[in-house]
Structure formats: C-alpha cells, structure tokens
Amino acid sequence: MKFSSVKVLVAAALLGGGFCAPAQAATVEEVLAGINKLPAKERQRRLEEGARKEANLVVYSNQGLETIQEYANTFGKKYPFVKVDSSRLQGAKGLDRILLEHRVGKLPADVVSVDFDNIGELLKTGMHTRYDSPEKKNFPSQFWDKEGRWYVAEYTLVVIAYNTNLVKPNEAPRSYQDLLNPKWKNDISIDTEPEQAVFAWMMEWGEEKTAEYMKALMRNGAVPRRGHTLQVQLLCSGETKIAVEVYPPRVMQMKYEKKCPIAMVFPNPTPGSLGSHAGIVKTAKHPHAAALYLDFMLSEEGVVALVKAGGTIPARNGAKAGWQEILNALENKKIRKILIGHDKMAELKDKGYKMMDDIIVRKQLR
C-alpha cells in the first residue's frame, strides 16, 4: 500500500471514529466535540464504543464515601465494560495533590471533582477540557459552566439541629442569634470549618459582624469538632445538645434509620452551597468513559444514586430529595436559601478561612 493511501485511511479513521491515535492525536476536547456533533443515538453508541476500548476510568472526587461508592456501583452496572477507580480527595490536602500531579504532568484522573471553594484554583491552571453534556438542559444555569469546564449535580444546605431528649421543641433555638443564649453554654458543637455558614454570614452581615458573632458563639462554650457527620453522631449520643451547622439529609437519615432523637431548624436565610464541581481533564486517558460518567452523574439514574447515598440534595429539575420533607419545609416556611458558588470565593475565601482558623481553632476571641 502506498504511503499516501495510508495517510488517507488514518485520517478517515480519526474523523469517523473519534479515537485518539498514538501519534499526533486529536485532543480530548476535539474528540468529544466531534462526537457531540452526532445525532443522540449515534453519539451514545460512539461513546460506549470508545469506552469499551478504554475499559477504565479514574475519578478523583471530594464527595462523601457513600456517594462515591454509589456512583461507581451504579455506573458499573450500567456500563460493566468500564472499571472505575475512584479516590476521595478532600479539602486543601486533596486540592494540593491534584495541583501537584497536574504541575508535574502525572495526573492520572480522567474526571476531577472538587468543592465550590476549590474549583476556582483548578480553573486557573486550565486543566479542564470543555465538554458540552446534553444533560445540562435539565439543570438551572448556575449548576453548569457556560464553557463546559464543570458541572454540578447537587447542592448542600446546613441547618441547626438539636437532641429532642435534651432540648424541648418549644425551647429549641430558631435562629443563629438564639445560640448565644447563656442557657446553651457548653452544650453546642460546631465544625472546625463551618464554611457554608460563615460565608453566608459574611454575605448577609459583613465581615466585622460575622467575626463578632463567631467570637460570641465561642465565648458561649461552642465546642469545635471536625466533621459534619460527627456533629450529628454527637447529638444522637447526647454528648451535645445542639449543633450549629449540619446537613439536613444526615439528620433525616439518623432520625428515621437509626431512630436518633434529633430534629432540625432552618434558619432564615438557610446557608448552602453548590455541590461537587465535576469536570473532564485535558489529559484524560479515557475520554469516552469520562464523558459517559459525567452524563451519568447528571442523569435521572445519577439522581437515584445520589439520593440513595444521602448527604446532598439533587439539583436536576423535577428531582425529589431523598427526604422530601426537607424541600417541603423550605417551601412551606418560605425559607430563603443562600447557595454559594465559586464566583464569590475571591472576596470570601481567604478572609473566611482565616476567621475560622483564628476564632474557632485558635480561639482568639478578643
């Protein structure tokens, strides 16, 4: 066969199949953009065909272990030809690892998910490729990046919770200011990084009033403990009476599944944030599997997996929360939500985290 003929056949294979060749390969973005131009059924077939050949998928996620496992298990049943390798990377340590691996060119992940306060750092590196998921039409525009670099399938809310054996419902705090009542001294637990509440307070009250409030709360004996799930467990055991910032689905889960004596109060407004920001990286070795995974996370099947795992609330239009009474409470009481996204982090992040460290961790209360 003549060399010119070989070149023609190789070019045709690339254009027709959308697969990366070892040499002078199309970029991940070009491969996925080409597939996205196909009719829906052909597009899906092409993605599955490519994923079969790739056979693997590597995911870095900041989400809870239950959610990560449920996603992997449900995706694995739908696409049994793809082996999913998921790692949980949280907070600053997780972010540092991702940035380091990217910087030295050894990032193994195809899909990277980080929290709302860290996605901005990743965007600065340009590590995400653009991908236009057809599922985005089922979400409000604040839950996806207009350039296709990230998508969010869920959001979180944080509420005040209390042990119903130790606190009578008619005496329970109804607002953050109620937590400053001396009768709750030393009976309150707070996460060492209650960022969603703190950021919301900063937006509502300003930096100075937020700092004053946090100091007053700590002077009232609030006990810092790391972990939102731990806060709920402490309430259930009766070790503390009240928790400042916990997730409603966890409260419901412990209340109904573990028969925990617990209830919650939705402050008005109720703080929250956009959930895990997931995107495909430019260096993805398994781009077809990555695209299938991202579409799955945003799909109705992804919502089912998310709700089953608990902890967050699905953002897909028409989706029901795992505990529908959470949404009912918000609607019936006309509670305003403050969902914080990464666009606010430039003005809030550094000051907010310094405040948390100084006041909650170091207990600098003057």
* DSSP codes, 198-237: HHHHHHHH-HHHHHHHHHHHHHTTPEE-S-HHHHHHHHHH
Lowest mean pLDDT among 41-55, 59-73, 192-206, 313-327: 313-327
- Choose which CATH entry (3.50.50.60, 3.40.50.10860, 3.40.190.10, 3.10.20.30) describes domain 156-273+336-361: 3.40.190.10
Q: What percent of the chain has pLDDT over 90?
A: 81
Q: Assign residue 105 a region: left if phi > 0, alpha if psi is -120 to 50, beta otherwise?
A: left
| pTM of the predicted structure, to 2 decimals | 0.83
Split at pLDDT 50, 70, 90, the class of 332 is confident
Whole-angstrom Cα distance, residue 234 to residue 240? 6
Whole-angstrom Cα distance, residue 195 to residue 357? 11
Split at pLDDT 50, 70, 90, the class of 15 is very low
Instruction: Please check whether the domain covering 3-152+275-314 is classified as CATH 3.30.70.20.
Output: no
Question: What residue spans define the domains of the chain?
Answer: 3-152+275-314, 156-273+336-361
244 phi and psi, to 5 degrees?
A: -75, -40
10 has pLDDT over 80:
no
Q: How many helices (H) and strands (E) does the chain have?
A: 14, 14
Whole-angstrom Cα distance, residue 14 to residue 289? 18
Q: What percent of the chain has pLDDT over 70?
A: 93
- Rounded to the nearest angstrom, the gap between the alpha carbon of residue 333 and the centroid of all alpha carbons in its chain is 26
Of 195, 194, 198, nearest to 118 (Cα)? 195
